Amino acid sequence: MTVRIGVVGTGMIGQDHIRRITDVVTGAEVVAVTDVDIARAERVASGVGARALPTGQDVITDPLVDAVVVTSWGPTHAEYVLAAIAAGKHVFCEKPLATTAEDCLRIVEAEQAHGRRLVQVGFMRRYDQGYRAMKRVLDDGDLGAPLLMHCVHRNPTVPEAYHSEMATQDTAVHEIDTIRWLLADEIVSAQVLTPRRTTRRFEHLQDPQVMLFETASGVRADVEVFVNCQYGYDIQCETVGETGTVRLPDPADVWLRQSGRLSSGVLQDWKRRFAAAFDLEFVEWVAAVREGTLTGPGAWDGYAAAVVCDTTVEALHSGRAVEVRMKDRPAFYES
Ligand code: NAD
Ligand code: ISE
């Protein structure tokens, strides 16, 4: 069976996922798209032989759409995910699941009322081969108990619209999910350090920031977010265990020896850094939709990330360590 997909939001990542579903994934096709910029939706639709429909609701309720991909702006996600659950359709939602923890909880409750998992959140690092290899090492237990994690998330530049809270909500949200997933542990407190600010930033922005997280089992994780680092897109992660450490590999590249220098390139954006992870994310999601058994990051992970993000933003404003106040995980989301 071919999974017929409707896409809500045909901006940058929406177009990239449409290309991916069309050219990379087998067993799926994009049949309908929409965007508030309807001319953009029509342009994108014509490129893949899909229909451009007037609204997200039209796409979600269309009888020819089996599953939905939500790639519109963050504040619109909750409405579309809830509509997809109401229609009984699988929905892949780019991060964030919703922009408030309350909305994430409404989604969690709606999904439980429906009775089976329908929601997957776009935390694509869980599909990156380096992160997966690190998870295998940690799960094997050869390093003993994990004690510390050191993470770095650098972007070359960000636009003026990017504000200090987005360092958490838009950027470190990926580390928040990977810390929870790699350690199979919950984050229980957050603190934010605000070092000397780079001169290469818009005036309103605190950049860089250092986030300090503690997990329920006592692991300490530090995350450096530096979104105007100038030199490239750089993601690093190291976990320190009792008998050794495990570190994320840098993306493969050739080493150049020339003019007395040894050098290799640094990628410039998330699109290329995680291209293979995005591909695998969609291959596995489509396979799971066909089988009706979702295993990727779900609504509970979206909720947990949102609560930790809210706590981290509170910590940024207060300058203090703040306790994470999260609901207990329902049995529905165990395993
Ligand atoms: P974008 O601005 O390029 O695209 C968003 C599109 O949504 C625009 O075309 C806009 O017109 C459309 N839109 C806005 N409101 C809408 C509505 N109510 N109904 C239908 N369409 C609507 O943004 P983007 O960079 O593509 O980001 C989209 C989402 O993807 C964001 O939530 C972002 O956080 C996420 N994202 C994830 C990653 C990742 O690494 N996983 C990377 C980039 C973006
Ligand atoms: C962007 O939205 C992403 O999700 C990227 O992965 C991240 O590196 C960037 O900082 C965000 O703005």
Structure confidence by residue, pLDDT tens digits, 123-154: 999 999 999 999 999 999 999 999 999 999 99
31 close to 6: Cβ distance less than 8 angstroms: yes
Say yes or no to pLDDT of 335 above 90: no
Could you give the CA distance from residue 105 to residue 115 in angstroms, rounded to a whole number? 15
Say yes or no to pLDDT of 79 above 80: yes
Quick one: pLDDT at residue 1? 86
Which tens digit of pLDDT belongs to each residue from 220-278? Answer: 999 999 999 999 999 999 999 999 999 999 999 999 999 999 999 999 999 999 999 99
167 close to 207: Cβ distance less than 8 angstroms: yes
Quick one: pLDDT at residue 312? 98
Residue 173 near ligand 1, beta carbon < 6 Å: no
For the chain, how many helices (H) and strands (E)?
11, 15
Say yes or no to pLDDT of 113 above 90: yes
> What number of other Cβ atoms are within 10 A of residue 275's Cβ?
17
Minimum-distance ligand 1 atom for the alpha carbon of 8: 20
Quick one: pLDDT at residue 71? 98
Quick one: pLDDT at residue 118? 98
Helix, strand or coil, per DSSP, at residue 180:
helix
Predicted TM-score (pTM) of this structure: 0.97
Closest to 241 (Cα-Cα) out of 183, 173, 313: 183
Quick one: pLDDT at residue 12? 97
User: What would the two tokens of residue 184 be?
Assistant: 């199979």
Distance 171 CA to ligand 2 centre (A): 5
User: Mean pLDDT over residues 216-221, rounded?
Assistant: 98
Residue 206 near ligand 1, beta carbon < 6 Å: no
Residue 37 near ligand 1, beta carbon < 6 Å: yes
Closest Cα to atom 29 of ligand 1: 71
Chain centroid, CA 148 distance in Å: 22
Quick one: pLDDT at residue 110? 98
Counting ligands in written order, the one closest to the CA of 97 is: 1
Residue 155 near ligand 2, beta carbon < 6 Å: yes
User: Mean pLDDT over residues 307-325, rounded?
Assistant: 98
Which tens digit of pLDDT belongs to each residue from 180-213? Answer: 999 999 999 999 999 999 999 999 999 999 999 9
Average pLDDT of the chain is 98
Domains of the chain: 3-125+277-298 (3.40.50.720), 129-268+304-333 (3.30.360.10)
Residue 33's Cβ-count burial label (10 Å; 0-12, 13-18, 19+) is: buried
